[in-house]
Structure 1
Amino acid sequence: MSRAFRRILTAIVAVALGVPVMAAPTGAAPTGAAAGRVPADGSALPPGFVDQTVFTGLVAPTAVAFSPDGRVFVAEKRGTIKIFHGLTDTTPIVFADLSRNVYDYEDLGLIGLALPAGFPRDPYVYVSYTYDAPIGGVAPVYNDTCPALYNCLASGRLSRLRISGNTLVGSEQVLLNDWCQQSDTHSMGDVLFGPDGSLYVAGGDGASGDAVDYGQLGHPTNPCGDPPAPVGGMMMPPTAQGGALRSQDIRTPADPTGLSGTVIRVNPPSGAPLPSNPLYGSRDRNVQRIVAYGLRNPFRLTFRPGTGEIWIADVGFRTWEEIDRIVDPVAGPVHNYGWPCYEGMLRQPVYDAVNLSLCESLYAAGPAAVTPPFYTYAHNQMITPVDTCAANRGAIGGLTFSPTTGGGYPATYRGALFFTDYLRTCVWAMLPGVGGVPDPTQILAFGRTSGLPVQLVTGPGGDIYYVSITGGAVHRFVYR
């Protein structure tokens, strides 16, 4: 997930108690055919759509993946992967149990799940998760607990599992163990295959989700050993490079680069950087892998159909949620999306106030030194003038594109970018504009979800599916 369970529960309680909501419309109202599809009440689906429960009885599901042979794989946060033999199956089998290695605590756990395009002929299941041990350590260290915040040093893993039939063959093959994790949030994000068969993986900054964090937190301080101090050393502005500043680590070549706050592109069998990556000429193997950085919690990824564009749901801090776009991750350039120096379109005020050198040098370079989000919304704003989902909070939980041709949805939604916010429990559709690129001025309120959504994915027949972590279910939006 993208926020700690305790914050989710706080949000649920707030809604139940009727906490007042500040709302300010953003963007232009949809026009023409789009206007006709906007429900009068954003909590209702558009006419003809039904929210259908596909799978239920799951334990905190986080991701779903569809096999070409009709099977459906579902990951659970605790580290189990289940297989359904079709969309009507009600009795799944457990394919893999990684719970001994998976650190299932607050936001941490098994998050990413992907199947290669040639599956099952290419017989591997790929996962990304929080590993219950520091980098180089042996799990389990904490057994899904943490005695004191910032004192449970963990890491992130990218692995693959060989499958024969429905059976796990051999043991987990670890491709990467990186992403130093000092907090209970902003851990691993999505794992996703690109159109060319390469593998993309996202990881968060591993820093505090609530406080300004430049490495000074924890006992000992600076648990990840970020420059300039050793583990337990004094981390002070302006020179500190720890905490959330790990998202800018590529800018400090004097020390090895970590993968926190990045999107990487790797060779699926090995996790090695691909020679076609923009920064492959670097001497640092991690730098060779990176295709985007300066991200806070790039929780979900998707590709725009017919292109190589990556779209990122990056969970925000105190004010803004972001949708970021990588136009060409192969040709580059590799963009800096600015976290923690920027949030949304603006300087992040509490990090700006600390006067950290990594941020101050970025500010001095001017706005062009960072890539702004493609679309951003504030926690106190409605996304469309007609929806009822504004709740003075936000945590973008997923995004996916509907097909540009075919599928069972009305033509209005062809090629639309669907996105969801799991604290608002709503879904919106950003309609395509010039060149098929989503148009932020043409956003439709699509409706509410059942439970808190942590993933959107386009499934068989072009239907949009969502994973409800609190509902223990996978749903789909069907048009009849």
Structure 2
Amino acid sequence: MKRIIPLRDRLQGGTFGAVPLAGVLGLILLGCCWALPSRADILGLQRVASGLSAPIFVTHAPGDGTRLFIVERGGGIRILNLESGQLEPTPFLSIPNVDTAGEGGLLGLAFHPGYQTNGRFYVNVTLDNGVTPFSTHVREYTVSAANTNIADPASVRTILTFQQPQANHNGGWIGFSPNHPYLYIATGDGGGGDDNDAGHTPGIGNAQDTTNNWLGKILRVDVDGDAFPADTNRNYAIPPSNPFVEDERDDEIFAYGLRNPFRASFDRATGDLWIGDVGQSAREEIDFLPASSSGGENFGWRLREGRIATPSGGVGGLPPPGAVDPVYDYDRDADQFGGTVVTGGYVYRGPDPTLQGKYFFLDSRNSASTADDNYWMFDPADPFGTVVNIDHLLVPDIGTPMFPVSFGEDLEGNLYIAYIASGDVYRIRTSAPPAPLLGIELDANADVVLSWGTNFTGFTLEASTNLAGGLWEAVLQAPDIVGTNHVVTNAVSGSERYYRLRQ
């Protein structure tokens, strides 16, 4: 069995998953470092998928450079084959009874870091089963054993669930940290306005209530354990390092004081968490949790909207004790730096050297009109001093993309944008050069045979047995030239090995 994986820049690090040698013939996950040219530029938007039903999120599975998973709000997950450029005709998963009232729907998707071996993935979805009220459900599914392009719907398992007071401000993003296998869950304050309607904690709102209240929070749970075996709706354990495990506050809470963190992301290189929190009537904000955080941050809502006292509803005030201001916020003016519904994006870790480490985000103004959209990027070291509008750079090659709702990443770090109204997904194109392809197979002696094109020169093949702080050592065998490929045969022992090319 042979696997060809397209690889791009990993100079700033990356997210990897382990694949046991004994369990899957020859499938060894690897990464590579691309030798970067002096400059590359944004060339526009390239449409990679169309005809979708309300696409709302885009992501990839760990170690999978050939597929993109596209979430449709109504409950479907589609697969885009990046090699053929075609959508798989059969959905990866179709979830029944999805409730799309208000801002509900299938809102989030995350793959377990060990997906290549355990096949587990997670969704964030609002459901209406005719019995319980409008509620958020975080569920686990497993890929089909017979076909990796289809999930097993019978494998569904509830991780957690909670009722939503109203049908807006559902949050929806979920994701795994690249630094540990904990699942983060972003929740909104429950809806209505000013965190002050029915079902909201009197006097302080849901976002500031940390006792028996998961709304307006970043939750963090361990999906590999189960601390509640008697409860079929709570199938997780509490990470022992969560900030409130030693007091009366909810053990699941990692951070709080959020209004509607609809889109967030981890920087794959650092593990920092970037959160786009949608404002009420005055400010939109980008919040930041460093990888070094021990949790407990309070982002201030409902007292604070962005960096100011919330001006509406009579709920604003001074920052609560220990409140953390957003790293960037902006107003609702109708200009190139204003907006009404921030969409958190990603720190770029793809092939373009000029974009490395830049944070991308957008604002659609909650409208399908293309004239309303604003796209930005900034340097995380100085957000206010470096933010630039990049609308003029993101010209589509075909079609009219309408209502951007989410960014996404593929394995290589290329960025994509999902457009919910037009049913499209576009990739942000750059002039970065093509990446080397590294082939892997096991020969008859169970040695690993690695190959890459002879047109890529000056690379050193390195190996490691541990991605979590392990050492990378050069593979000493000099590559042979076989046809148009460099070829190295590497004898291996043990259960896991990782390879990368470095220049």
TM-score (norm 1): 0.70
Per the alignment, residue 10 of structure 2 pairs with none
Per the alignment, residue 207 of structure 1 pairs with 191
Counterpart of 2:404 (choices 432, 453, 457) is 453
Check whether the contact 1:84–1:92 (CA below 8 A) recurs between aligned residues: no
Q: How far apart are residue 263 of structure 1 and its match? A: 0.5
SS of equivalent residue, structure 1 residue 265? strand
> CA 1:439–1:212 in structure 2 vs 1: closer, same or farther (change >3 Å)?
closer
Counterpart of 2:363 (choices 418, 421, 425) is 421
Give the Cα–Cα distance (whole angstroms) in 1 for the partners of residues 340 and 116 of structure 2.
38
Q: How far apart are residue 330 of structure 1 and its match? A: 5.0
Per the alignment, residue 136 of structure 1 pairs with none
Q: How far apart are residue 408 of structure 1 and its match? A: 2.9
Q: How does 1:214-363 map to 2 (within 5 A)?
A: 214-215=196-197, 222=198, 224=199, 239-240=202-203, 245-250=205-210, 253=211, 257-269=212-224, 270-283=235-248, 287-328=250-291, 331-332=294-295, 334-351=296-313, 353=314, 363=318
Aligned residues: 362
Give the Cα–Cα distance (whole angstroms) in 1 for the partners of residues 127 and 360 of structure 2.
31
> CA 1:329–1:283 in structure 2 vs 1: closer, same or farther (change >3 Å)?
farther
Q: How far apart are residue 249 of structure 1 and its match? A: 1.1
Q: How far apart are residue 280 of structure 1 and its match? A: 2.0
Check whether the contact 1:264–1:289 (CA below 8 A) recurs between aligned residues: yes
Give the Cα–Cα distance (whole angstroms) in 2 for the partners of residues 422 and 177 of structure 1.
29
Give the Cα–Cα distance (whole angstroms) in 1 for the partners of residues 320 and 207 of structure 2.
18
> CA 1:111–1:329 in structure 2 vs 1: closer, same or farther (change >3 Å)?
farther
Give the Cα–Cα distance (whole angstroms) in 1 for the partners of residues 297 and 351 of structure 2.
36
Deviations 1:385-415 (A, max 9, x none): xxxx35x642112310111xxx432x33111
Q: How far apart are residue 77 of structure 1 and its match? A: 0.5
Give the Cα–Cα distance (whole angstroms) in 1 for the partners of residues 243 and 252 of structure 2.
9
> CA 1:335–1:47 in structure 2 vs 1: closer, same or farther (change >3 Å)?
closer
Per the alignment, residue 465 of structure 1 pairs with 416
Higher mean C-alpha displacement, 53-62 vs 109-118: 109-118
Counterpart of 1:90 (choices 76, 87, 103) is 87
Per the alignment, residue 175 of structure 1 pairs with 159
Higher helix share: 1
> CA 1:381–1:167 in structure 2 vs 1: closer, same or farther (change >3 Å)?
closer
Q: How does 1:115-134 map to 2 (within 5 A)?
A: 115-132=111-128
Give the Cα–Cα distance (whole angstroms) in 2 for the partners of residues 141 and 80 of structure 1.
22
SS of equivalent residue, structure 1 residue 249? coil
Per the alignment, residue 162 of structure 1 pairs with 142
Deviating beyond 4 angstroms after TM superposition, the runs of 4 or more aligned structure 1 residues are none
Per the alignment, residue 231 of structure 2 pairs with none
TM-score (norm 2): 0.67
Counterpart of 2:106 (choices 98, 101, 110) is 110
Per the alignment, residue 400 of structure 1 pairs with 346
Q: How far apart are residue 343 of structure 1 and its match? A: 0.5
Q: Which amino acid aligns with 2:423?
A: G
Deviations 1:279-319 (A, max 9, x none): 222355xx211111010001111123432321100011101
Give the Cα–Cα distance (whole angstroms) in 1 for the partners of residues 341 and 67 of structure 2.
30
Counterpart of 1:193 (choices 165, 176, 180) is 176
Deviations 1:108-136 (A, max 9, x none): 1111111123323120121111122xxxx
Give the Cα–Cα distance (whole angstroms) in 2 for the partners of residues 213 and 200 of structure 1.
22
Give the Cα–Cα distance (whole angstroms) in 2 for the partners of residues 48 and 205 of structure 1.
37
Check whether the contact 1:72–1:83 (CA below 8 A) recurs between aligned residues: yes
Q: Does 1:53 align with 2:47?
A: yes
SS of equivalent residue, structure 1 residue 121? helix
Give the Cα–Cα distance (whole angstroms) in 1 for the partners of residues 151 and 51 of structure 2.
23
Q: Which amino acid aligns with 1:98?
A: I
> CA 1:350–1:430 in structure 2 vs 1: closer, same or farther (change >3 Å)?
same
Unaligned runs of 5+ in 1: 1-36, 38-45, 133-138, 143-152, 216-221, 228-238, 383-388
Give the Cα–Cα distance (whole angstroms) in 2 for the partners of residues 72 and 302 of structure 1.
17
SS of equivalent residue, structure 2 residue 118? coil
Deviations 1:223-243 (A, max 9, x none): x3x55xxxxxxxxxxx545xx
Deviations 1:403-458 (A, max 9, x none): 1xxx432x3311100111122423211024xxxx3532112222257211111123
Q: Which amino acid aligns with 1:380?
A: D
User: Aligned residues: percent identity?
Assistant: 30
SS of equivalent residue, structure 1 residue 298? coil
SS of equivalent residue, structure 1 residue 205? coil
Deviations 1:211-259 (A, max 9, x none): 44523xxxxxx3x3x55xxxxxxxxxxx545xxx111111xx4xxx211
Counterpart of 1:372 (choices 317, 325, 341) is 325
Check whether the contact 1:61–1:472 (CA below 8 A) recurs between aligned residues: yes
Max radius of gyration: which structure? Answer: 2
Give the Cα–Cα distance (whole angstroms) in 1 for the partners of residues 45 and 430 of structure 2.
9
Deviations 1:24-49 (A, max 9, x none): xxxxxxxxxxxxx9xxxxxxxx9651
Counterpart of 2:383 (choices 439, 456, 459) is 439
Q: How far apart are residue 468 of structure 1 and its match? A: 0.8
Counterpart of 1:140 (choices 121, 126, 130) is 130
**Superposition RMSD in Å:** 2.5
Unaligned runs of 5+ in 2: 1-38, 225-234, 366-371, 396-400, 432-503
Check whether the contact 1:156–1:188 (CA below 8 A) recurs between aligned residues: no
Q: How far apart are residue 329 of structure 1 and its match? A: 6.6
Q: How far apart are residue 175 of structure 1 and its match? A: 0.2
Check whether the contact 1:79–1:104 (CA below 8 A) recurs between aligned residues: no
